[in-house]
Amino acid sequence: MGLDRAAQCLPAATRTSRWDPGAVRRDFPALQQEVRDAPLAYLDNAATTQKPQAVIESIARYYRKDNANVHRAVHLLSARATAAYEGARAKVAQFLNARSAAEIVFLRGTTEAINLVANGLGLQAEEEVVLTHMEHHANIVPWQLQQARSGATLRVLPISPRGELELEALQGLLNARTRLVTVSHVSNVLGTVNPIRALVNIAHERGIPVLVDGAQAVPHLEVDLQALDCDFYCLSGHKLFGPTGIGVLYGKAERLGVLPPYQGGGEMIRRVSFEGTKFADPPQRFEAGTPHIAGAVGLGAAIDYLQGLGRAAAAEHEQDLLRYAAERLREVPGLRVIGESPDKVAVVSFVMEGVHAHDIGTVLDHKGVAVRAGHHCAMPLMDFYGVPATVRASFAFYNTREEVDRLVEGLHLAREMLA
């Protein structure tokens, strides 16, 4: 391959001497469009990220050439599909620094991963699960369902007004009945980066496993699972510049080995008879039926793309956007930022006096600025701050300062129109 052709296969940012969001944006077809007669300013990355052409093409190429079921045939297409599927698993393991690809389970996303663990634990009436006040509904409702089934108790680790865990309170919540601690690595509303290793150390001193919701962390942070030492970690591909409908549950081998199957069917068995079934070892034990093969292929392509970017430079750019946004938002009268931890990713949530978040979102949309307005699947957190909803602007490495300026201009307009 010639040097020119090789350069074309790299993310655009690697073709420049410094971080150039304008160059990176050319890798993302959706960012090239206009909405409402204005260039799209996509600031809803915490909900889902846009997809680079490399990911889109990898999925199309799989369906054009390699479409077959995995693990079940000896013909060439099945062999190629299986190699791509299991290759994606190996990429995820390397990306997260898991000990083995066998610790990586493919599922639909973070929500299904948490449900798998919640169902597999087999909670009893006398047992307890500790979660935090900043959790997404996906890390609350599955535990409430298990609480209703078993009579187990849920205990909540509080947060400070700045949006940080009151970690010193954790010791008082743990006891001999605690079965699991579960926590977001990064808050989807506040952007707060939680001290996972410190929390894991406290729990492990008592022999208590920890599940981490990493959906909002992996797009921004380099995650090292062996350094974090958590027992379970989950993520969603669509927040990592990959496809929807694919996600990951990481579990330490010794933890996955004792979990029962979450669903039954083909692929997850060793032998079936009418007298009983012997199940496969993890990860196949938890992947019943035909998996989302194209989704796994696309997730692998997203990881390849990210690793070619230079993640440190991408993170530095995102932090610059966060600082710039914080400065510009202070110019808007009546605006209050929710959650002001000094350790956060490029997410900012806010309210405006006298104007509902949904109305702000509508005004911004008519200016081509896409944000999220609502409770962000975190109603207990909204209750803590005493607000019904917030506006959330969430940034990725392809966003620009000019888009922040357009956000602020739209907020001034919303205030003039509605306050």
Q: Which residues are annotated as catalytic?
A: 377
Amino acid letter, 248: V
Report angle CA 66, 103, 177 to the nearest 5 degrees: 140
* Among the listed residues 34, 36, 133, 32, the one whose alpha carbon sits nearest the alpha carbon of residue 361: 36
* Among the listed residues 153, 150, 155, 193, the one whose alpha carbon sits nearest the alpha carbon of residue 172: 155
Residue 276 C-alpha from the chain's centroid: 37
On the CB side of 37, CA atoms within 13 Å amount to 1
Residue 79 C-alpha from the chain's centroid: 30
Read off the tokens for 117.
Answer: 């663990």
* Among the listed residues 148, 160, 153, 143, the one whose alpha carbon sits nearest the alpha carbon of residue 174: 153
With a CB cutoff of 8 Å and minimum separation 6, the contacts of 354 are 334, 418, 419
Q: What is the 3 state secondary structure string of 313-380?
A: HHHHHHHHHHHHHHHHHCCCCCEEEECCCCCECCEEEEEECCECHHHHHHHHHCCCEECEEECCCCHH
**What is the Cα–Cα distance from 310 to 329, expressed in whole angstroms?**
29
Q: Would the CA dihedral through 229, 234, 236, 237 be positive or negative?
A: positive
Q: Would the CA dihedral through 2, 8, 9, 14 be positive or negative?
A: positive
**What is the Cα–Cα distance from 278 to 266, expressed in whole angstroms?**
12
Read off the tokens for 405.
Answer: 């300026």
